[in-house]
Every structure is written in structure tokens, then in C-alpha cells.
Chains A and B, each alone.
Chain A
Amino acid sequence: MGRVILRRLFTMVPLLLLMSFFTFLFLSLAPGNFLSSIRMNPAYSEETIEMLEKQYHLDKDIVTRYLIWIKDIVRLDFGYSFTFKRPVGEIIGSRLLYTLLLSFSAFLFTWLIAIPLGIICALNRNKFLDKFISIFTFASLSMPSFFLALILLYFVSITNILPAGGFSSPGFEDMSLINKILDVLKHLIIPTFVIGITSMAGLIRITRGNFSEILSKEYVIAAKARGIGNFRVFYLHVLKNAINPLITIFGYNISSLLSGAALTEIICSWPGLGSIMLQAARSQDIYLVMTSMLIGGVMLILGNLTADILLVFNDKRIKIQTA
């Protein structure tokens, strides 16, 4: 098992190289560069722009620049952000916790509600409760998250019951610890709800599908016929068999922990990675974009690996191939 994991981690390297090369290529092939906006500013002379181009190595060709980047990455130097004139690692570090906090809160909200609802649907298949929940899931599936966020912000603007975006209220510094926590929790509600609601629907559908499939399996009926209690049947026979696909989704969810909230973050002015990444991509702040791409790639691979390992633990029939 340990060897397999090592092997998987090792195969990450060529994968990430390939990913990073293509990202770099596309970013460099896109018209213009980070200095384009200065070019359009009447106050800057061409000499100054040329000087900046040299400073940022933008006058070199793509391959040279990529190789320089790789060389730095090996030494864990992620480069400088052109915009902020600070190391990329520091910029991302300053935002990371906020994104994690929001993603984690949305993650909890989604799973704690979706799984029970999915199971309830499966147990009451085609009855009123199932249909009622299904209508709700279809509605939320078809609602884009940014739209839901805007509606909620509008609602808040009329009713004033919740803070409208941001991470904390003015005067946060002077609050007591308890009030600080409460204040942040209040600010978390809207973005958590938006991300949760829109990602919950899929999870409910999948849970419902799996559980109803297993519930109608012959061995479940047989177990019931043998007089095993409902709870035991559910726990021993149904649950273990039904959660495999959910574990895979769990893996994917891990991979989107740092990127899944971007759109909602931007609309709700949440101080996470979302807004600086959008800015970076639009202004072609190339090293910041490259690093966020790397993080995304690593998270995807790690997420999948975690899911695979969990699957082995849950279901002894599954083996990870060593070959």
C-alpha cells in the first residue's frame, strides 16, 4: 500500500510538468502581457515600458521563461507577482485560510444536509417526501451560484438581517472574542449557503440513486426476510455498499477546496483566493496564475488519491493495482 502511494505521488511529476507547460504556453500566447495596461497610459514613455519588460523578463522567449520558472519551482521559489511585487507564495498564503474556512464550512453544510436527505429520498422512493425534495434539488441544480448570490445580497439589502458580504463588520478590531466569532459566522452564512445549495443537489441525487439501488438488491431483501432488524440491515448491508461512489465524489470535493468557491467569493467580497486569481488571470500576472494552477493540479491528484485509499478501507474487494 505504502509503495503504491509513493508511486502515485511520483507519477504526479510528469503530469504537473505537462499541465504547467500548457498553462504557460496558453498564457504566453494570449495577446498582450502584464504591461499592456501601462502601454495605454499616456503618462508612460516607451523607454520606461521597455525597461519594465526587461525587469520582468518579458522580452525573452517562451521556452527560456518556462525553463527559468521550472528551475525556480524546484527550489520552491514560486516567483514574484508583477502586480503586488511580492513573492507569489506570500500573496497566496495571505488568502489561503479565508478560502479554506469558506470551503470547509460549505463542505460541512453540503454533506451534513445532502447525505441524510438523499437517504430519506431513497427510503421513501416515489412517495411525497421524495418528490418534494427532488423538486428542490432540480431547482437548485438549475440555479447558477452567482445568480443565487446576487438574489441573496438583494434580499439582505432590503431586510438588513445579515451582513452583505465581506469577512467582518466595521469595528471588528474592537469586539470581544465571542463577538468576533459570531460576526465572522454571520458573514459566512450567505456564501456558505450559496456554495452549499448549488453543490448539494448533485450529491442528493447520487445518494438517492445508490441507496435505492442497493435497497432493492436481493441480499438486502433476503436479510430483511431473515428477520434482521432494519437498522442492522441498513448499517451492515446497505451503507457499506452504497457509499463507494460518494467516496469518489468526496475526493473531487477535496480537490476543489481551494478553487470551488471563487465565483461566490468574488461576488460576496470574501477575502479569499478567488478575486486575486481573477485579477491575476485578467492582467496576465503570469506567476500568480501558474502557481494557482499548480495548486489546483496537486489538489486534484491528492483528492483522487485520498478517495482511492478510502475506497480500499471501505471495501475489501477493491485493490489498488501495483503494476
Chain B
Amino acid sequence: MYKRFFILLILPILFLNFNSKVYSDEKPAYGGTLRLSTISDPKSFNPVIAQETSTTSITRYIFEGLLDQDVDTLEMKPHLAESWTKDKDGLVWEFSLKKDIQWNDGTPFTADDVVFSYNSLVYNENIPCSARDILTIKGKNIKVEKVDDHTIRFTLPSPFAPFLRTAGMVEILPKHAYEKYVNENKFNFAMSLNAKPEEIIGTGPFMLSEYKPGQSVILKRNPLYWKKSEIGRLPYLDKISFSIYGDEVAIIQFQQKNIDIYGVRGTDYPILKPLENKNDFTIYNLGPAFGSNFLTFNLNTSKNADGGSYIDKRKLDLFRKVNFRKAIAHAIDKEFIIDSVFNGFAQIQYSPVSPANTLFHNKETEKSFPYEYDPEKSKTLLSKCGLKDINGDKILDYPDGTTVEFNLFTNSGNKLREKICEIIRKDLETIGLKVNYRLLEFNYIVEKTLNTYDWDSIVLGFTGSIEPHFGANVWRSNGHLHMWHPKQEKPDFPFESEIDNIFNNALEIMDDGIRKKHYDKWQILAADNLPLIYTVVSQMLTAVDNRLGNVKPKTNGGVLHNIEEIYIKK
């Protein structure tokens, strides 16, 4: 009796207002609000100076570039420009712009806006923007000029293979709206958070409607957007609202069906998966992410102010032996990391290029350099480096009897990375290495790796991109992000000199097939010499409410790459 009463009591709670709904019509329809969440406030609405995803994840719906990336082939395809031609050396490119495009304030979009966006914004020395650093070719700017109202000519100082991918993605901003800020040298403060919505002018499918600090950003439909479907002008949605929720709140809001899309972490999976039917959503596995997690050792031979090396000489000599780094790679139990940290939703990373990058990833790295988990092999490799346990304390010693001991740092706040470090520390202990693991504030790590050089080993990650050349600051031996030994005057190791050549030469090769061969070689060199020891790359899981139509999740582009076609089912 009591039991039945209890069940009756609990039933309404379990089935509270959301039963799977059968949608009558699967045809696109206008209207409705897409409800998203974002972890922190945007820092401005200025896409040119934006450095953080909290800003770009919003401005990407307001501003557009000349070209766009095809989510399947990863090749560039027409967007604001409808076609382009190039001369045989790949030095002169002409883009024809689409003619029926308007800014969201009604002004027509013309070649003047494109010229303005490059010459007055990207190449403006007073505006900090990463596009300029990428589009500066051997110290020279690309010449950008207007041929007529709908034709633009780019003249390159020398061949530059990533041209389409970089120049095509630069956001185009309206000259009529922002020229005055540039003239007064105030562009860096334009489009800030207190700007009126009508001051944020783009060509994108959505425009700013309202920003409430700490609460939400609301975008509304751009009624003048240029893309059309068979039933009319796109986009279908009326609004997109971004609620600013912390991690703890976002997942609950998704469970309560207050937001439509939630980026699922491996640890969330067991919580959300059982709710899929009841709450009527679908979890998609989008495949490997573009970012990376790696362990790197300090190989820096440059001298500090006192003429000594930055870290203990014996330690430095050890780190510089490739057998030592190979021993470490064999000692890390990557399968265990995948299971225990990512709940299975990750895969081993073999190359600096993520397997998600189907254009440039070299599958050969996995076959030639798998670095399978093998502590015994590690121990053999370490003894080849001259290490053995002399005093019988189960910790390896240098030939002179002193204990091998080094620090392992990572930045605090990234829980996955912290867990990876715990496992690495334990794995290295198994092969007899004494590792002191410490968490440091991110800024402190940056200071150590890029300025003071007083570190032994670090676990970090980089966000990746399709174009391998964007990693040049990391891989060229004179790069300031060449973590293991930054800003070298001439390459330290032979493999570094080879990689330098690859990055310099591949940049000028316009044939994608031949170019890929160069970057394949780089990936092999990296995997063989292990300046960065890659661990695992996570897979991207996304939960999407089934009330959304036209959802076609892709590894590259995620769920919202076709935002203008997404609609709310009736």
C-alpha cells in the first residue's frame, strides 16, 4: 500500500511536462528562438581584435568573410565572393563579389568595404589582430585594391599557399560605419559591450538585439540576409539567445530543457545518455577535436645571465637524448587516460596534426611510431641513456649516483589536463622516475616557458587549425612558441633544421598534393624525434534537442555550421 502510494508520488516528478513529442511536420518553418549557453560574457562585439572564443562564438553569426570552409571537404568555397581567379604563379588573385548583398542596416556591400577591411583594419599597425601576423608574408603586406565595385584584386609579394584559407576568412566590416573610428584611432574601442545594437553592422544571418551583462546575449534575425532557400529568405530562426551559465548550471538547464544544445564532456555522458529518450534529445559524437594535449621537456641550451644553463646540466643532457623521450612515450598508458579521464571518448594522438584534419593528417605516423604502452621497453631505453638504480631505492640514478628527479607542471583550472598529469606522474614512477607534479596558474606557466625557461617538463595543449602553417610559431626553430627551445638563432637539432625547411618551402607550393607531402614529412620527423610527446585527443560530444530541424553535425563546424538553415520543429 505504502509502496504504491510512494510510486504515485514519484511518477509525476519523473514525467514532469516533457514526454517525447512527435513532430507532425518535418518541413522547415520560420520563427522561434534557438537557446544556447555560453560560459562567459563576450569581451566586445569587435571581431577584428577578438582574441577569445567567448567573443567569436557570437560575432561569427554577425560577420562573414569572402569565402567559407566546406564542412565536408574542408576546401574553401564561395561566400561573400562568388568566384575567384588566380594567375599562374599564384601571385595575383581576383575575387568577384556577390552583387545582391546588403549590410544589416540596408547599405549595399561593395568592394570598398573589402579594401577597408584589409587596408584600414587588418594592416593597421594600431589594431592588434592575429590576421595581420598571418597575412604578413616575408615581412610584406598583401596589396589589396578595388578593380570595380564588385571586384577585388590581391597582389602577393611572393607565393603563399594558405592565402585562400586565411584571406578568405577575414571578417569584412562596413567602411561607412567604422571608418570614422579608424580615423580617430579609436577602432580598438569600437563595438564594445555598451555599443547600441544598431552600431554592430555585419552581413551575417543574425544581428545583435540585446546584451545583458552576466546574463545573456540575444541575436535577432537579419531580415536582409542574402542566402535563400526554396521557401524564402534565410535564416529561419527569429532569435538566438546565449545564456551565460557556468558549467554546473549549464548541464542542469539542458536537463530542464531550457537550452537546446549542450557540449557534453566525457564525464557528463553517463548522466545524459539515459535521459536521451525521456528528454527527447540526441547525443552526437562529432569525432576528434582539433586541439591537442602534449608533454614536453626543456631542451633549451641557451645560457642564462650567469653563463650557466637554465636547468641542471645533467638533466638537460638527459632530456636531449631522443631515447629518453621515447622511453617516456612508451611509458604513458594512453588507453588508461582515455578510459579514466575521458570515459572512452578520446583517441590516441600520434601526430601534431589532429586526425580531424583530413586534409593534412598523416596516417603513417600511427603505423611507424605508435609508441605502444610498454614499461619494459621504457626501462631498456632508459638504461641505454645511462640511467640505473644504484642505491636500490627503486628510483633511477645518474651514473654518478644522484637521483634522477624533475618537475612536471601544468596549468590549474583544466580538470582534464590535471587528471592526465596525475596518470603521467604515476606511469613515470612505474619506470623508476621521480617526478614532482605541481599545478601552476596559467600565466605563471607562460612566464616560465616563454621568458624565464626554468622548467623541466610541462603538459599543455594548443588549439589546432586546418592550415598547418598556422603552427609555424611553434614548429620553426626561431618561433617564440617553439616551446622546448624558443627563438633559436640557428637550428639546434638536425630534425629542427629539416622542419624549418619544410615550413619555409611548403609555404610557396601551390599544389595541395605536393604540399601535403612536405607536411607529411614534418609529422614523421615530429613523431620520430618527439619534441612534443602527444597524449590523447578528445572527441567532441554534443547533445542537441530534437526540436531542432536541419541539424547536420560535422567534425569541422560542429552543430551550428548551417545556422541559417536550422529551424524549430512545430
Interface residues of A, Cβ cutoff 8 Å to B: 30-33, 36-48, 51-52, 55, 83-86, 90-91, 94-95, 98, 150, 153-154, 156-160, 163-171, 173, 266-272, 275-276, 279, 282-284
Can you give 18 contacting A-B residue pairs, CB < 8 Å? A31-B447, A36-B446, A37-B443, A40-B442, A40-B446, A40-B450, A44-B128, A44-B133, A45-B473, A48-B133, A85-B44, A85-B188, A164-B253, A166-B249, A170-B33, A173-B210, A271-B214, A284-B443
Interface stretch (choices B35-43, B149-157, B501-509, B540-548)? B35-43
Closest to A32 in B: B443
Given A32-B447, A42-B462, A85-B189, does the pair A165, B246 have CB atoms closer than 8 Å?
yes
8 nearest A-B residue pairs (beta carbon): A271-B214, A32-B443, A165-B249, A43-B130, A164-B252, A36-B446, A36-B443, A45-B133
B471 contact set on A, CB distance < 8 A: 42
B188 contact set on A, CB distance < 8 A: 55, 85
| CB < 8 Å neighbour of A36 from B41, B129, B447 | B447
Shortest distance between the CB of B294 and any CB in chain A (Å): 13
| CB < 8 Å neighbour of A84 from B16, B192, B444 | B192
| CB < 8 Å neighbour of A95 from B13, B194, B214 | B214
| CB < 8 Å neighbour of B13 from A48, A160, A169 | A160
**Residue contact B215 to A166, C-beta cutoff 8 Å:** yes
Q: How far is the CA of A270 from the CA of B248 in the complex (A)?
A: 12
B284 contact set on A, CB distance < 8 A: none
Given A42-B481, A266-B246, does the pair A271, B444 have CB atoms closer than 8 Å?
no
Shortest distance between the CB of A211 and any CB in chain B (Å): 39
Shortest distance between the CB of B136 and any CB in chain A (Å): 8
Interface residues of B, Cβ cutoff 8 Å to A: 13, 16, 33, 35, 40-41, 43-44, 51, 125-126, 128-130, 132-134, 136, 188-189, 192-194, 210, 212-215, 241, 243-246, 248-249, 251-253, 255-256, 258-259, 413, 441-444, 446-448, 450, 460, 462, 470-474, 480-481
**Residue contact A159 to B192, C-beta cutoff 8 Å:** no
**Residue contact A39 to B249, C-beta cutoff 8 Å:** no
B473 contact set on A, CB distance < 8 A: 42-43, 45
**Residue contact A44 to B130, C-beta cutoff 8 Å:** yes
Q: How far is the CA of A284 from the CA of B16 in the complex (A)?
A: 45
Closest to B461 in A: A40
A163 contact set on B, CB distance < 8 A: 256, 258
Q: How far is the CA of A90 from the CA of B211 in the complex (A)?
A: 14
**Residue contact B213 to A271, C-beta cutoff 8 Å:** yes
A171 contact set on B, CB distance < 8 A: 33
Shortest distance between the CB of B34 and any CB in chain A (Å): 11
**Residue contact A160 to B248, C-beta cutoff 8 Å:** no
| CB < 8 Å neighbour of B128 from A36, A39, A48, A166 | A48
**Residue contact B134 to A43, C-beta cutoff 8 Å:** yes
**Residue contact A98 to B193, C-beta cutoff 8 Å:** no
Shortest distance between the CB of B31 and any CB in chain A (Å): 14
Closest to B210 in A: A173
**Residue contact B130 to A41, C-beta cutoff 8 Å:** yes
**Residue contact B214 to A164, C-beta cutoff 8 Å:** no
**Residue contact A271 to B130, C-beta cutoff 8 Å:** no
**Residue contact B193 to A84, C-beta cutoff 8 Å:** yes
A157 contact set on B, CB distance < 8 A: 251-252, 255-256
A173 contact set on B, CB distance < 8 A: 210
Given A85-B189, A160-B16, A164-B256, does the pair A32, B446 have CB atoms closer than 8 Å?
yes
A84 contact set on B, CB distance < 8 A: 43-44, 192-193
Shortest distance between the CB of B14 and any CB in chain A (Å): 9
Other A-B contacts than A32-B442, A158-B13, 11 sampled, CB-CB below 8 A, are: A40-B446, A48-B129, A55-B128, A84-B44, A85-B189, A153-B249, A157-B256, A166-B253, A269-B244, A272-B214, A284-B443
**Residue contact B192 to A85, C-beta cutoff 8 Å:** yes
**Residue contact B446 to A269, C-beta cutoff 8 Å:** no
Shortest distance between the CB of B517 and any CB in chain A (Å): 23
**Residue contact B249 to A271, C-beta cutoff 8 Å:** no
Shortest distance between the CB of A209 and any CB in chain B (Å): 36
**Residue contact A90 to B194, C-beta cutoff 8 Å:** yes
Given A85-B188, A95-B213, A284-B443, does the pair A40, B249 have CB atoms closer than 8 Å?
no
Q: How far is the CA of A284 from the CA of B44 in the complex (A)?
A: 18
**Residue contact B442 to A36, C-beta cutoff 8 Å:** yes
| CB < 8 Å neighbour of A159 from B13, B450, B474, B480 | B13
Shortest distance between the CB of B121 and any CB in chain A (Å): 14
| CB < 8 Å neighbour of A150 from B215, B248, B481 | B248
Closest to B448 in A: A31
Closest to B444 in A: A31
A271 contact set on B, CB distance < 8 A: 212-215, 244
A158 contact set on B, CB distance < 8 A: 13
**Residue contact A269 to B249, C-beta cutoff 8 Å:** yes
**Residue contact A160 to B443, C-beta cutoff 8 Å:** no
A276 contact set on B, CB distance < 8 A: 41, 214
Shortest distance between the CB of B450 and any CB in chain A (Å): 6
| CB < 8 Å neighbour of A86 from B16, B40, B193, B470 | B193
A164 contact set on B, CB distance < 8 A: 249, 252-253, 256
Q: How far is the CA of A46 from the CA of B243 in the complex (A)?
A: 35
Q: How far is the CA of A102 from the CA of B32 in the complex (A)?
A: 32
Q: How far is the CA of A294 from the CA of B481 in the complex (A)?
A: 37
A91 contact set on B, CB distance < 8 A: 213
Q: How far is the CA of A84 from the CA of B214 in the complex (A)?
A: 13
Shortest distance between the CB of B502 and any CB in chain A (Å): 16
B210 contact set on A, CB distance < 8 A: 173
B444 contact set on A, CB distance < 8 A: 30-32
Closest to A44 in B: B130
Given A170-B243, A284-B443, does the pair A40, B481 have CB atoms closer than 8 Å?
yes
B446 contact set on A, CB distance < 8 A: 32, 36-37, 39-40
Q: How far is the CA of A31 from the CA of B451 in the complex (A)?
A: 10
Most buried by B among A86, A158, A159, A166: A166
